[in-house]
Amino acid sequence: MAKKRGGKMNSKRKMGTKILAFAVVMAIAIGATSAPAMAGEAEGRFTIGGNPTPVVGTIELYDGGNPTDEMTPQTEYELSMTITDESTLSDITELKVVIKEGDYSGEDCATDQATYTWTPSGWSVSPADSTWAIVTDQCNVPILTDTSGDWVLGFKPGKVAREGKNGWVFTVTATDSEVQSDSGILSSKTMLWYGELTLIDTAYSFGIVNLSDSDVPIISPSDGNIDVESIANGDYEIKSKSEDWGTVDESRTAPLESSLESLSSGQFRLQNEGDATPDKAAYVGSSYTMIPDFPAASLTGPTDVTGATNEIYLWLSVADTGLQIGDEYGGTYYVQIFKAGE
């Protein structure tokens, strides 16, 4: 055993000697040609793979550049949305803005929900016939080679977007080419009251009346009433006013009396209501006064986006003296829509 061990040790020592000798020769050879290197450089590389998900950041509502918590239908607003995508904004394939009222859940509709969608070809809105509008010159798309930037949607709320305090919510969803998405919410926005009224019957006549006649209904239009078309996003009232009427050549004037007092010489009185029975003593004056007695629930909003038809009944009373037999008197009767209770 001891002999074998000794043999191995001798053999290793011999190999070590040979290697040492060889190394010395190499060192001398290098030293003879150039100085030994003290530092070096090497290029390293790596590549980022994958495609990060977009991130929806700050969402803010502006009215002409100023932050706002309120909207009025048919007025221009700008919704600014900060979007980030580390694979650059050119990776965003769709930006969806759902604007809805309260707890509504369902299809887009004129009263409670509109959806604006941006794709690289621009913005679209649904439902298309709802009067929710895109204000193209207020829209902005950020620099798509950046990784973060602001999209701006210029829009107008629809005419019958439901009136309501703090109930409107914007939900913004950004989707990228890998169909990865992120959403953000802007809530507690108020929709203020909006209404508009169009007269369908723009002229009416009581025909020929006699002195001291009272509560004479109109004979034209033949159904005895004036039709108006009302569009409103909340409950509304219809008010009227008029003025002193005169003869066509303006040589004579008939003063309008708006109270229950007996008519003085030359005066006339108009009564108006929302049904065919003149029982409310609703006399037309020179300032806007509510027309009473419309059928129950007919003045509730939101109306249909194309409007609701309301009928106004009118009656004429004239004094027993002071009006020239044969004269024709005329004047303007004004009708306007107002928020209920105002």
CB-based contact 317:256 (threshold 8 Å): no
The two three-digit tokens of residue 138, written as one number = 């207020």
* Minimum distance of Ca ion from residue 258's CB (angstroms): 18
Alpha carbon distance 264, 257 (integer Å): 9
User: Token digits for 275?
Assistant: 């049904």
Amino acid at 258: S
| CA angle at 202 for the pair 196 and 207, rounded to the nearest 5° | 145
- Which residues, at least 6 apart from 123, have a Cβ–Cβ distance to it below 8 Å? 116, 117, 134, 136, 139, 153
Residues in contact with Ca ion by CB under 5 A are 51, 85, 87, 91, 176, 273, 275, 277, 279, 293
Polymer length in residues for the chain: 342
In the complex, minimum distance from the CB of residue 311 to Ca ion, in angstroms, rounded to a whole number: 12
In the complex with Ca ion, which residue's Cβ is closer, 204 or 294?
Answer: 294
Measured CA to CA, the distance from residue 55 to residue 181 in angstroms comes to 8
Using the minimum distance from each CB to Ca ion, give the nearer residue, 215 or 279: 279
Cβ density class 281-291: b for 16+ within 10 Å, e for less: ebbbbeebbbb
Q: Which two tokens stand for residue 33?
A: 């040609």
Q: Considering the complex, state which of residue 233 and residue 310 has its C-beta at the smaller distance from Ca ion.
A: 310
Shortest Cβ 88–Ca ion spacing (Å) = 8
Whichever of 72 and 90 has its CB closer to Ca ion, that residue is: 90
CB of 284 to Ca ion, least distance (A): 14
Tokens found for residue 186: 């802007």
Kindly state the smallest distance separating residue 240's Cβ from Ca ion, in Å: 14
Minimum gap (Å) between residue 71 Cβ and Ca ion: 32
Whole-number Å distance between alpha carbons of 331 and 206: 12
Q: Least distance in Å: CB of 165 to Ca ion?
A: 33
> Closest separation between CB of residue 303 and Ca ion, Å?
22
The span from the CA of 335 to the CA of 228, in Å, is: 9
Amino acid at 291: I
| Nearest distance in Å: CB 100, Ca ion | 27
**Considering beta carbons, is residue 101 or 176 the nearer one to Ca ion?**
176
Token digits for 324? Answer: 């020239």
Residues in CB range of 163: below 8 A, 6 or more apart: 191, 192, 193, 194, 233, 234, 301, 302
Complex with Ca ion: residue 74 or 258, whichever CB lies closer: 258
If the CB atoms of residues 206 and 329 are measured against Ca ion, the closer one turns out to be: 206
**Residue closer to Ca ion (CB basis): 143 or 248:** 143
Residues 6+ apart with CB under 8 A from 17: none
Q: Which is nearer to Ca ion, 24 or 276 (CB)?
A: 276
d(CA 191, CA 99): 11
